[in-house]
Amino acid sequence: MTASNRISAFKEELCDLCGLCFHLCPVLHLPLEESKKEIERLIKRQNSKHVLSRCNTCFSCNLYCPQKANPYQLILENWNALYKKRGAPPLYRFVCPTEEPNIWQLLNVFLSDKEREWIYNWMNYSPKPEDNILVIGNYTHLFPFILGGSKLLDYFKPVDLIDQWEGGAYLYQGGYLDIVQKIAEKCKIDFDKWDIKNITHTLDAVQYIFSEVHPKEMGVKHNRNFINFNEWLLNSLKSTKIEIKNPLNISVTIHDNCYSKTLNGIYWEPPRKILELCGCEIKEMKHIKKDSLCCGFGAGASWVRNISIPFDIISEGYKKFKEAEDTGAKALISYCSGCLYLLWATKELIGSNIDLYHIIEVVRMAIGEQLQYPEIHIKRAWDIIAIITYQLIISMLQNNFYIKRIGFDENRSSYKPKRYILLKLIRTSFRSQFIKSIFRKLFLLQMKILKTR
């Protein structure tokens, strides 16, 4: 199948140009008449005045649309056209596992021996038809200690294929639709080779991509049973297959990720029920579920200038922390590891005092497992900040690019680490609390400057 045969998910015949999608948007808040004009501009492929440069890719507009026309997918189609015209920003190599360098390749410089062992085993396991596999995912890979060493993995064969690109979930979110179709075709080859019936994923986004986007928009059907890990966790806790031994008795607030808004919000309740079973008191933020604010990733998808991407991302993440802190909860909980790595970077850069956990970590604590919290997260956050800083510096010397390769070469050269002396120097400098303090101040100052332009 060629990209020209993709199935458009935007239903133009249903859209009556009411404008509610962008008027109710928690980020845009466009006046109703301007919202009507903006959606008309997008339909006619005219220059967008607001959406393509400000959208945070949060899916909310689909839920606000009374006609179920899927305006979010209209945004993606326009972004896809822009990608064909201008390419991707240089910094976006950061999240492309087949480009060099990328976050997985760079992070490998800082991994502990135990993390390397886990990842090596996960990346090199060849699934068998009788296996019940758990696809670790690209972003859980950044925090392998979230799952590594846990008895939760006793129920699965963990697999970590970075060049499955989370099924293309984060590229889809940025409108790289033609690339997502190629990824879908590669994933089908992988799944058919494995011949496995059940495939469990740690992210809502990945389950949605495989079960909905690939067959309905990309024309690639997998004929597999895709299982949501949160659903599995909830059922296992309710049946006492996994036993709560240490109810936590803490107040928490919940970050609803962008993909949780798909399929009419079926992903919202399982995490809340899991947290309640673990002994948590839930204090909801102002914007939750269909109105939830993005972790910040989506601000990078709507890039205008390469240099502003990290600052736009952290700026949006700051809003999330402000709402979380306002609840008075002790901890902010994410059930998306893609959000987690950016939220931890944001937490360290803005100096937020609220605790931050992945929901899997909450379950692990409740079943009696010990975590190296928060030390291991703080270290990883600064690993990530160093990588982003390094990548931003070298991107200044690069041009926009097009994604040519989907899978690894035989030697996985784009994953294996190199020397990266400048990266190591940046990371070493962050061991100084004084340097960290100066970096935070400069970063936040630059963020304000870029926001006022």
Contacts of 86 (CB under 8 A, 6+ apart): 400
Strand partners, 11: none
Angle between helices 269-277 and 229-238 (to 10 degrees): 40
pLDDT of amino acid 419: 87
pLDDT of amino acid 452: 52
304-336 pLDDT, tens digit per residue, is 888 899 999 999 999 999 999 999 999 999 999
Apex 270 CA angle, 203 and 272, nearest 5: 110
- The 10 Å Cβ neighbour count of residue 197 is 12
Contact in structure between 166 and 192 (CB atoms under 8 Å): no
pLDDT of amino acid 5: 74
- The 10 Å Cβ neighbour count of residue 106 is 23
How far is Cα 142 from Cα 334, in angstroms, rounded to an integer?
A: 15
Apex 212 CA angle, 402 and 140, nearest 5: 65
Residue 242 main-chain phi, psi, to 5 deg: -115, 125
pLDDT of amino acid 133: 94
pLDDT of amino acid 201: 94
Contacts of 236 (CB under 8 A, 6+ apart): 155, 242
Q: Do the strands 355-358 and 331-334 form a parallel or antiparallel pair, or are they unpaired?
A: parallel
Strand partners, 157: 133
Phi/psi zone of residue 19: left (φ > 0), alpha (ψ -120 to 50 degrees), beta? left
What is the total residue count of the chain?
Answer: 453
End-to-end CA distance of the chain: 43
Query: Tokens in use for 23?
Result: 């008027």
Query: Tokens in use for 71?
Result: 């305006």
pLDDT of amino acid 376: 97
How far is Cα 289 from Cα 43, in angstroms, rounded to an integer?
A: 27
Contacts of 278 (CB under 8 A, 6+ apart): 237, 244, 247, 248, 362, 363, 365, 366
Sheet (strand 280-282) strand order = 280-282, 250-255, 331-334, 355-358
How far is Cα 412 from Cα 418, in angstroms, rounded to an integer?
A: 12
How far is Cα 342 from Cα 354, in angstroms, rounded to an integer?
A: 15
- The 10 Å Cβ neighbour count of residue 229 is 25
Instruction: Return the closest-CA partner of residue 108 out of 162, 156, 186, 168.
Output: 162
CA distances from 46 to 37, 43, 50, 81, 449 (A): 11, 8, 12, 11, 30
Q: State which amino acid sits at residue 191.
A: F
The runs of H, that is alpha helices, within 66-203 are 71-86, 103-107, 113-124, 169-173, 177-194
Those residues of the chain that have pLDDT short of 70 are: 1-4, 410, 452-453
